[in-house]
Amino acid sequence: MPPAPLHIVLIGPPGAGKSTVGQSLSALIDITVISTGVILRDEIQTGSALGQEIARRIDAGDFVTDDMIGRVLLAQCTQIASQHGILLDGYPRNLAQAAALPQMLARFGRRIDAVILLELPDEQVFERLGGRRMCVTPDETYPVHMSDATAMARCVAQHGVLTVRPDDAPDIIAHRLRVYHNTTAPLIAHYEEQGILCRVDARAEAGAIARTILSMLNQTVTPV
Ligand code: AMP
């Protein structure tokens, strides 16, 4: 019998590597990543009125409304076949979203199995995000750190254009971190009380973090 689909939530400060770890996990097990940041940035690219409103909020380091993000998430969940697990990268980000999530998943016969907290000290957040650039190629857009010569060379080889995310400006990083501590960090106690929180050191390499997470969850790697 195939393993039951797994439902994982990734939380952590900005720059903890949620998206990269999510990609690494999805290469190891049958799990579909829903990255709210990526979906919102895709909407911005369309130039729609909604996209412009989203851009104003994200560029200022603020959250989009719970209603907006709730609708985005619902639309995504509807598209995922029931045999696939779901990894939530970037949702929930506050207690109201955490309260809404179980009912939303229950509509699809799903429930959260584990919440992974990627822990990263504040000074590392500044170091990572301050040096982060987005490599934009015709095929993909991915983050690279200026100190990572191999990643920078790969971007150049792909004729990629390096850009800075507006929300990676130093004052916006500081604001996002404050928002994280005030609004998202309360989720840690919330999920700890439910007994489903696992803490992981986010300073390791993404592939190693993904394997650590799977062993914490007693999951074996499945061909995907
Ligand atoms: P990320 O790529 O996960 O860092 O997300 C980029 C930005 O998208 C965040 O700083 C927020 O402005 C917005 N965002 C992503 N997920 C959510 C969410 N669950 N609730 C509100 N805003 C969100």
- Residue 219 has a pLDDT of 76
The answer to whether residue 2 sits within a structural domain is: no
- For 70, counting Cβ atoms within 10 Å of its Cβ (0-12 exposed, 13-18 middle, 19+ buried), the class is middle
Compute, in angstroms, the gap from residue 94 CA to the centroid of ligand 1.
11
Mutate to test the pocket of ligand 1, among 93, 128, 129, 134 (most ligand atoms within 8 A of CB): 93
The answer to whether residue 1 sits within a structural domain is: no
Residue 44, domain CATH: 3.40.50.300
Compute, in angstroms, the gap from residue 163 CA to the centroid of ligand 1.
19
Domain that holds residue 102: 7-129+169-216
Using DSSP's 3-state secondary structure scheme, residue 166 falls into helix
Mutate to test the pocket of ligand 1, among 36, 104, 128 (most ligand atoms within 8 A of CB): 36
Closest CA to 212 of 75, 27, 21: 21
The answer to whether residue 193 sits within a structural domain is: yes
| Average per-residue pLDDT for the chain | 94
- For 31, counting Cβ atoms within 10 Å of its Cβ (0-12 exposed, 13-18 middle, 19+ buried), the class is buried
The answer to whether residue 125 sits within a structural domain is: yes
The answer to whether residue 119 sits within a structural domain is: yes
The answer to whether residue 68 sits within a structural domain is: yes
Compute, in angstroms, the gap from residue 195 CA to the centroid of ligand 1.
25
pLDDT digits (tens, 9 = 90+) for 149-190: 999 999 999 999 999 999 999 999 999 999 999 999 999 999
Question: How far apart are the C-alpha atoms of 194 and 60, rounded to whole Å?
Answer: 33
- Number of domains into which the chain is organized: 1
The answer to whether residue 84 sits within a structural domain is: yes
The answer to whether residue 178 sits within a structural domain is: yes
pLDDT digits (tens, 9 = 90+) for 43-62: 999 999 999 999 999 999 99
